[in-house]
């Protein structure tokens, strides 16, 4: 019989992480550990406040499955037993890790994928004044890919202009965090094209994004809050050019792999993203990163300290995880 533990951990952020919906100085994560004899599998998630998830409720939902998991619940059974979201992500990834340890082969091989290679991740600049964001860009000007958090206010164009001044050679992604409107989305996109922005993430609120259909924009749009899992993916064709796959939204690696395959069949390009979390949460997402046009897995870079055996970063270049961490 397996032994299941569910722990809440707090990891301080280096400074603060600020988006339009607020600022935080620590990352609260839930870690699931499943032991089967000498083999141990782990997974990590970050509850999504945007969707009403709390650390307390997500931890409770996982603990409610303890008996079934102890009795041998499989990944396929988990998909039917638990709703898509952060909790299922932690359990799903822990089961992948456990199964790999028992089988003596890496997760990528079990999943029929190619061996993971290093990938360059975006580095996120928190929302701030144009001057603050210019200074942050200068500090990180050597990174090849910067992601800017915008606020949905009249200062957004000035923020991007300031970042471009601070980091003249970096590729830029902007995350509007649902902050724009149907009235200004096209004019904002044309204004940002002057600064060489490569991608605009979630320009409109998810409930209003039908207004994007048929728009001819100089910069491709990427769905974030508008995409969770397989359900509703077809609707996004014609609205967005990219989708952002986050394991805390898909409910784990299992559905994330299905979303990736489905997106490719529908000619949607892929960005893989994350919440602010440790390397344990990034490790499974690295498998999605292998086939993604943009990688945004900088969570550990934003922390004051990562967990043991964390992913090695050489600047923005992240190496595949070691088995001691996951997979």
> Which residues are catalytic, by number?
149, 246
Under 8 Å between Cβ of 66 and 81:
no
The 8-class DSSP code of residue 300 comes to G
In sequence order, what DSSP letters do the residues of 171-232 get, joined into one string? EEEEE-TT---TTTHHHHHHHHHTTTEEEEE--S-GGGGGGGTT---SS-EEESTT--SSTT
Q: How far apart are CA 303 and CA 278, in angstroms?
A: 8
Closest CA to 120 of 303, 319, 285: 319
Residue 152 CB coordination number (10 Å): 18
- What spatial distance separates the first Cα and last Cα of the chain, rounded to whole Å? 21
Closest CA to 206 of 192, 219, 224, 191: 224
Non-local (6+) Cβ contacts of 104 within 8 A are: none
Q: Is 65 helix (H, G, I), strand (E, B) or coil?
A: coil
């Amino acid at each position: 019989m397996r032994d299941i533990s569910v722990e809440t951990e707090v990891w301080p952020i280096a400074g603060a992480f600020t988006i339009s919906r607020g600022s935080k100085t620590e990352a609260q994560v839930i870690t699931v550990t499943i032991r089967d004899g000498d083999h141990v599998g782990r997974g990590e998630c970050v509850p999504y406040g945007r969707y009403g998830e709390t650390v307390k409720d997500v931890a409770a939902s996982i603990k409610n499955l303890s008996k079934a998991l102890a009795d041998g619940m499989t990944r396929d059974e988990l998909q039917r037993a638990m709703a898509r979201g952060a909790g299922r992500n932690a359990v799903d990834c822990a089961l992948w890790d456990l199964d790999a340890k028992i089988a003596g082969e890496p997760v990528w091989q079990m999943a029929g994928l190619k061996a993971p290679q290093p990938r360059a991740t975006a580095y996120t600049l928190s929302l701030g004044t144009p001057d603050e964001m210019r200074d942050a860009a200068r500090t990180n000007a050597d990174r090849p890919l910067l992601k800017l958090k915008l606020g949905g206010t009249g200062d957004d164009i000035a923020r991007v202009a300031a970042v471009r001044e601070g980091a003249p050679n970096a590729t830029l992604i902007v995350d509007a965090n649902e902050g724009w409107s149907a009235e200004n989305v096209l004019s904002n996109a044309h204004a940002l094209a002057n600064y060489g922005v490569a991608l605009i993430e979630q320009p409109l609120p998810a409930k209003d994004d039908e207004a994007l259909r048929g728009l001819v924009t100089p910069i491709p749009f990427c769905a974030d809050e508008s995409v969770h899992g397989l359900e509703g993916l077809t609707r996004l064709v014609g609205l967005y050019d990219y989708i952002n796959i986050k394991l805390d939204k898909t409910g784990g690696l299992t559905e994330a792999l299905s979303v990736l395959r489905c997106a490719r069949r529908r000619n949607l390009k892929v960005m893989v993203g994350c919440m602010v979390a440790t390397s344990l949460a990034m490790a499974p997402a690295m498998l999605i990163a292998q086939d993604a046009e943009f990688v945004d897995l900088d969570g550990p870079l934003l922390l004051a300290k990562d967990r043991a055996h964390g992913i090695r970063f050489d600047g923005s270049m992240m190496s595949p995880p070691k088995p001691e961490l996951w997979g």
